């Protein structure tokens, strides 16, 4: 019998398990479907190498529907560290206005003043640690490439941004800042400092923290309105029941809602359609899927030798606001030193909608724990998102035409055919917009008065005792930033509450 079982050793789960197990009297079990590498020497190169994402060696093999009729691969990390172990290591925070909006939905603990201490606690900012809004002693080191380490495409990006009149911003995580910046990144040289490296490595020595890798949680056990245990399939294929006083679900924005539904917690009609016994009808589970739709311009370089798949893919960032928008920093533009194509050298520039109005949904395909859920993004169906992706893409094309960048390119590979009209760009967005890989919101926080809220602001599941959800799925909306730091911040914040305010959780 454990005090706490944490399901999923991802960005949130590692931070939460590490913080909660700081109390030596609290026996914590961290359960992870993927493998665990207990030191860097035994860690495979794809997880160490932060210059590019790891897409397949430690992946769930999912796919998603970005827009109607398309089925596209959807990477998610399956290993201790979760998606933080396979990602690009962009370490951006949401803007204060994101959290003002969260708080306004009935979540006062999650206003900017409420989240800033957790953002500070998680980081060791090697450039600006002494600034009031930064931390200098957390488990995740954050650094920006200096000009001397910038590769050619990123130097050209800064030159183009300057020519287009965007301001420079030394610290993209400055709360009120915007403009062209060196990207803050949680990497040291090539090393990706995932949450397995930053949080688990120092915590795994504790006798009160157990880690069970290669153990798939098949469902939660609900007895008389209380979550009392988890059912797992262990590495030998055997089914086990493990009990705890509190269960924390941190399997990420795709798997957490799927596990809830398989356990009889979700929209009644959907559960019944799959023959799952309904323990509680929770209509919000799987709804409110929020992400960052994106579309890139790709170019063929004049000098193929410029494309080096062994160099950093990302070094720079532009955070800015769409014309006439009342949502500050609702757009991002990113230079990509190379694209995924290995057969033909290419580089690109991505335009990304950071403040998304539309929502997708996630549905069970089957009650089988090995069956992937259906992930339906509905990108660009909300006109406000479409208009801003079109505006952003126009700006991306302006970047591509700036001499600093145009001089590096032989030609534009996508889109073909000169200057596209807005109508044509809108068509491209509807056909080709893809995910920033930032799904969240599928078990959202909200007060009990919100019928679509799944958990309260402490992460406690409405109407089910002994169950917390703490990962990207509880975000009410995607923040205007890549989501890793915010997912870690959630694990930090709820982990700290578990340690310092255990009575809130019945511990
Ligand atoms: C390729 C890629 C690139 C990205 N790049 C960036 C970036 O540069 N910057 C950024 O900010 N964000 C990035 N993201 C997004 C960011 O990494 C995620 O938002 C964040 O890691 C989500 O954290 P989480 O804890 O919610 O989920 P995850 O980190 O995905 O953790 C979930 C964990 O639960 C485990 N799990 C799931 N189901 C089960 C089960 N049934 N039983 C046991 N364990 C289970 C998973 O294996 C995983 O370890 C990227 C994501 C991807 C996939």
Q: What is the mean pLDDT of the chain?
A: 97
Is residue 471 lining ligand 1, measured as CB closer than 6 Å?
yes
Could you tell me the sign of the dihedral formed by the alpha carbons of 491, 215, 261, 226, in that order?
Answer: negative
Annotation says 58 is catalytic? no
* pLDDT of res. 418: 82
Query: Are the CB atoms for 214 and 80 separated by under 8 Å?
Result: no
- In the Cβ-directed half-sphere of 242, how many Cα atoms lie within 13 Å? 26
Token pair 């035409």 in the structure block, residue = 401
The set of residues, in sequence order, having a beta carbon less than 8 Å from that of 284 and lying 6+ positions away, is: 443, 444, 446, 451, 452, 453, 454
Tell me the CA end-to-end span of the chain in Å, nearest whole number. Answer: 13
Q: Is the pLDDT of residue 202 over 90?
A: yes
* Cβ atoms 426, 433 nearer than 8 A: no
Ligand 1 closest atom vs CA 82: 49
Task: Tell how far the Cα of 147 is from the centroid of ligand 1, in angstroms.
Answer: 30
Structure tokens at 229: 């245990």
Q: Which CATH architecture has domain 1-59+74-143+186-290+437-507?
A: 3-Layer(bba) Sandwich (3.50)
Q: What is the average pLDDT across 477-495?
A: 98
- Report pLDDT digits (tens) over 395-423: 999 999 999 999 999 999 999 988 999 99
Span 203-218, average pLDDT: 98
Structural domain boundaries in the chain: 1-59+74-143+186-290+437-507, 145-182+293-355+380-432
> Which residue of the set 58, 134, 438, 462 is catalytic?
438
For a ligand 1 pocket test, name from 213, 217, 220, 251 the mutation site with the most ligand atoms within 8 angstroms of its C-beta: 251
Hey, what are 316's tokens? Answer: 């720079």
Q: Which atom of ligand 1 is nearest to the CA of 369?
A: 41
Expressed in angstroms and rounded, the spacing between residue 397 Cα and the centre of ligand 1 is 31
pLDDT digits (tens, 9 = 90+) for 221-278: 999 999 999 999 999 999 999 999 999 999 999 999 999 999 999 999 999 999 999 9
Cα of 290 from ligand 1 centre, angstroms: 15
CATH of domain 145-182+293-355+380-432: 3.30.410.40
Residues 265/461, Cβ–Cβ less than 8 Å: yes
Helix then strand count (H, E) for the chain reads 13, 24
- CA of 200 relative to ligand 1 center, distance in Å: 15
Ligand 1, atom 3, lies closest to the CA of: 87
Of the pLDDT bands very low, low, confident and very high (cuts 50, 70, 90), residue 173 is: very high
For the segment 80-92, what is each residue's pLDDT rounded down to a tens digit? 999 999 999 999 9
- State the closest ligand 1 atom to the C-alpha of 12, by its place in the atom list counted from 1: 25
Task: Map residue 54 onto helix, strand or coil.
Answer: coil
User: What is the whole-number distance in angstroms between the Cα of residue 32 and the centre of ligand 1?
Assistant: 12
Task: Decide if 1-59+74-143+186-290+437-507 and 145-182+293-355+380-432 have a common fold.
Answer: no
Q: Which of 483, 488, 493 to mutate to test the pocket of ligand 1 (most atoms within 8 A of CB)?
A: 483
Cα 5 to Cα 2: distance, rounded to the nearest angstrom = 7
What's the burial of 406, exposed, middle or buried (CB within 10 Å: 0-12/13-18/19+)?
middle
pLDDT value at residue 341: 80
Give the pLDDT band (50/70/90) at residue 69. confident
- CB 78 less than 6 A from any atom of ligand 1: yes
Q: Is the pLDDT of residue 342 over 90?
A: no
- For ligand 1, whether the C-beta of 75 sits within 6 Å is yes
Identify the residue whose C-alpha is closest to ligand 1 atom 23. 11
- Pick from 35, 56, 82, 258 the residue to mutate for probing ligand 1's pocket: most ligand atoms within 8 Å of its CB: 82
Q: Is pLDDT above 90 for 119?
A: yes
Per-residue pLDDT band for 185 (boundaries 50, 70, 90) equals very high
Give residue 355 CA to ligand 1 midpoint distance, Å: 20
Q: Distances in Å between the alpha carbon of 146 and those of 59, 150, 192, 313?
A: 32, 7, 18, 15
What is the reported pLDDT for 56?
95
In whole angstroms, what is the distance from residue 486 CA to residue 348 CA? 26
For 133-142, the pLDDT digits (tens) are: 999 999 999 9
* pLDDT score of 127: 98
């Amino acid at each position: 019998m454990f005090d706490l079982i944490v399901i999923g050793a991802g960005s949130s789960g590692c931070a939460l398990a590490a913080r909660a197990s700081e109390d030596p009297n609290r026996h914590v079990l961290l359960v992870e479907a993927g493998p665990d590498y207990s030191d860097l020497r035994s860690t495979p190169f794809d997880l160490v190498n932060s210059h590019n994402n790891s897409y397949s060696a430690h992946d769930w093999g999912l796919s998603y529907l970005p827009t109607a009729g398309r089925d596209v691969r959807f990477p998610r990390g399956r290993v201790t560290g979760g998606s933080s172990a396979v990602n690009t290591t962009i370490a951006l925070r949401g803007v204060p206005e994101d959290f003002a909006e969260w708080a306004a939905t009935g979540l006062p603990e999650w206003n900017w003043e409420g989240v800033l201490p957790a953002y500070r606690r998680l980081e060791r900012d090697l450039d600006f640690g002494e600034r009031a809004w930064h931390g200098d002693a957390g488990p995740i080191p954050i650094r920006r490439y200096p000009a001397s380490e910038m590769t050619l495409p990123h130097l050209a990006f800064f030159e183009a941004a300057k020519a287009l009149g965007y301001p420079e911003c030394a610290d993209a995580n400055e709360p009120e800042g915007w403009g062209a910046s060196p990207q803050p990144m949680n990497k040291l040289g090539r090393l990706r400092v995932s949450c397995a490296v930053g949080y688990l490595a120092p915590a795994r020595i504790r006798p009160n923290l157990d880690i069970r890798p290669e153990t798939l949680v098949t469902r939660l056990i609900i007895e008389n309105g209380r979550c009392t245990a988890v059912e797992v399939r262990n590495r030998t294929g055997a089914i086990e029941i493990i009990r705890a006083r509190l269960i924390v679900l941190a399997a990420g924005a795709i798997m957490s809602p799927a596990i809830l539904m398989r356990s009889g917690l979700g929209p009644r009609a959907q559960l019944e359609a799959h023959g799952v016994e309904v323990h509680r009808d929770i209509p919000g589970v799987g709804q409110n899927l929020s992400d960052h739709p994106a579309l890139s311009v790709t170019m063929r370089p004049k000098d193929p030798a410029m494309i080096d798949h062994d160099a950093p893919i990302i070094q720079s960032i532009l955070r800015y606001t769409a014309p006439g928008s009342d949502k500050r920093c609702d757009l991002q533009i990113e230079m990509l030193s190379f694209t995924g194509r290995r057969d033909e050298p290419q580089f690109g520039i991505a335009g990304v909608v950071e403040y998304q109005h539309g929502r997708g949904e996630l549905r069970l395909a089957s009650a089988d724990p090995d069956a992937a859920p259906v992930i339906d993004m509905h990108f660009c169906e909300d006109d406000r998102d479409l208009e801003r992706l079109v505006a952003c893409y126009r700006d991306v094309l302006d970047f591509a035409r700036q001499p600093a960048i145009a001089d590096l390119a032989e030609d534009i590979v996508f889109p073909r055919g000169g200057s596209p009209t807005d109508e044509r760009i809108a068509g491209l967005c509807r056909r080709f917009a893809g995910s920033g890989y930032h799904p969240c919101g599928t078990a959202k926080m909200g007060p009990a008065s919100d019928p679509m809220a799944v958990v309260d602001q402490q992460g406690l599941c409405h109407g089910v005792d002994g169950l917390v959800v703490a990962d990207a799925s509880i975000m009410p909306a995607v923040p205007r930033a890549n989501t890793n730091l915010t997912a870690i911040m959630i694990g930090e914040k709820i982990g700290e509450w578990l340690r310092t305010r255990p009575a809130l959780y019945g511990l």
